[in-house]
Structure 1
Amino acid sequence: MVRILAILSLMLGLAACTDATSDLSRPVEPLGDFKMGHAIVVAPNLNMVGISKEASSEEWVTAVDRAVETRFRRYDGGKFYHLGISLEEYSLAVPVPLVPSKSGLSLRVTVWDDAAKAKMNEETHVVRVVQVLPSYGMTREQQIASLAEEAALWIEKWLRERMEEDGWFATAGSATVASAAPAAAAAPVAQPEG
């Protein structure tokens, strides 16, 4: 019985790892005129919260940078935009037999328009990722990678929302050309369900 539970936990853990990256194998859906210039990921005040496995700031910066680069280098729009990402908090699940555990990552995002030399969002956008994980089956490194990949996905979803609602990344020929001044409205916090 324990073996069956361990195998099921492993399968669920592997499935959780692939959800955030499953769209990367499909054709790229354009993100307006977005082309990533720089992605700067920093963690000057990264805090571990709750009962958690430890991870260094460097591990987090590397994982989030890799996930952001993988997700956003696919876009080849006509204008450069830069992403500033500050990692704030994390928690890595500690295995407890037969009890699902939670892992989480919280970060702040700012988007810069290279041509306008200005921030597009006045307030930093907060992304909070929470994953319920099986008690066995995911290593610390897999948890970090999974949270980073899901955070990158939620950043993309937020950028798409801003494109639809505020005209971000609009090309000159599109129906919704962004105004010269970026929208000042704060975006809702992206939180995955489940």
Structure 2
Amino acid sequence: MQVWVRSSAALALAALLAACGNHAELREQRNLGAFELGFNVVIADNAQTVPGGRVATEEQIEAAITSEIDRRFRRYDGGRLYHLGIIVEGYLLAPPGVPVIAAPKSVMVLTVNVFDDALGENLVPGGKQFTVLESLTGDAVVGSGFTMTAEEQLLNLAQNAAGQIETWLEDNPKWFDYEVVRNPFEEGMTFEVDVTEITPEAAAGTASISRPPARPAAPDRPGI
């Protein structure tokens, strides 16, 4: 994957966008209604990478995304638990390229499932796929392979992935509407949950999951 910058005008535009700030930063909380994060499961054991790119371990990928999902979503305390199951399908951590002329960009492909704990079901059968690019900054324009370590590239992708997921959840308010989902059992609805803990199959959307233990404390990380 290559990004070709063919004119000084394109460079000027990139510089302007970079000056506007990194969209992965935490801003004000979105309107996610009843949302409160329960399980946060990231699975990268089958993630494919592109030959020639930098390589990250399964543990590094899972840790980076898990941390950023926690940082962004533990802020919400809507009172109804939802679990996120994230499958990392593939990634490219850009190697050094020819600055400006051919600057590869880092990219990651994820499939995200959202489980409603009270209903015991996946709200997105089959999951929602995301293609996540690294942020457009002055460093990325000349090639993040020159200006960032592999760990920094991975962090950048993890932050952007969490931001895209947050926007997607906000775009689906019916999932978190108190009036619709707060007390489903009042109408005599019954649900069966037959898995006592989350598994790779559950994260992939092929099994139901049960209510987790008490909500974990928010990670001790400063907000932005």
TM-score of the alignment, normalized to the shorter chain, above 0.5: yes
Aligned equivalents of 1:124 and 1:78: distance in 2?
Answer: 24
Larger radius of gyration: 2
Runs of 4+ with deviation above 6 angstroms: none
Relative to structure 1, is the Cα distance of residues 158 and 27 closer, same or farther in structure 2, using a 3 angstrom cutoff?
Answer: closer
* Residue 150 of structure 2 corresponds to residue 140 of structure 1: yes
Is residue 30–residue 75 contact of structure 1 (8 Å, CA) maintained in 2?
Answer: no
Q: 1:124 aligns with which of 118, 122, 127?
A: 127
Secondary structure class of the residue paired with 1:90: strand
The superposition leaves residues 4-62 of structure 1 with CA deviations (integer Å, 9 ceiling, x where unpaired) of: xxxxxxxx7xx69x62432x1x4323311000011011112111124301111111000
The answer for the alignment partner of 2:64 in structure 1 is: 63
**Aligned pair count?**
159
* Residues 165-184 of structure 1: pairs in structure 2 closer than 5 A: 167-172=174-179, 177=180
Secondary structure class of the residue paired with 2:109: strand
Aligned equivalents of 1:47 and 1:20: distance in 2?
Answer: 26
* Residues 153-192 of structure 1: pairs in structure 2 closer than 5 A: 153-163=163-173, 167-172=174-179, 177=180
The answer for the alignment partner of 2:159 in structure 1 is: 149
Aligned equivalents of 1:49 and 1:146: distance in 2?
Answer: 18
The answer for the alignment partner of 2:193 in structure 1 is: none
Secondary structure class of the residue paired with 2:82: strand
Is residue 91–residue 107 contact of structure 2 (8 Å, CA) maintained in 1?
Answer: yes
Q: 2:22 aligns with which of 2, 13, 19?
A: 19
Relative to structure 1, is the Cα distance of residues 36 and 122 closer, same or farther in structure 2, using a 3 angstrom cutoff?
Answer: same
The answer for the alignment partner of 1:90 in structure 2 is: 91
Higher strand share: 1
Segments of structure 2 that go 5 or more residues without pairing to the other structure are 1-14, 185-224
Aligned equivalents of 2:94 and 2:120: distance in 1?
Answer: 40
Q: Percent identity?
A: 37
Q: What's the C-alpha RMSD, in Å, of the aligned pairs?
A: 2.4
One-letter amino acid of the structure 1 residue matched with residue 39 of structure 2: H
Aligned equivalents of 1:77 and 1:162: distance in 2?
Answer: 15
Aligned equivalents of 1:46 and 1:137: distance in 2?
Answer: 24
Deviates more, 1:44-53 or 1:73-82: 44-53
Once the two structures are TM-superposed, the CA of residue 91 in structure 1 deviates from its matched residue by: 0.3
Is residue 30–residue 170 contact of structure 2 (8 Å, CA) maintained in 1?
Answer: no
The superposition leaves residues 90-125 of structure 1 with CA deviations (integer Å, 9 ceiling, x where unpaired) of: 001111232322111011111000111111111210
Is residue 31–residue 170 contact of structure 2 (8 Å, CA) maintained in 1?
Answer: no
Secondary structure class of the residue paired with 1:89: strand
TM-score between both structures, scaled by the size of structure 1: 0.74
Q: 2:110 aligns with which of 107, 111, 114?
A: 107
Aligned equivalents of 2:164 and 2:127: distance in 1?
Answer: 14
The answer for the alignment partner of 1:3 in structure 2 is: none
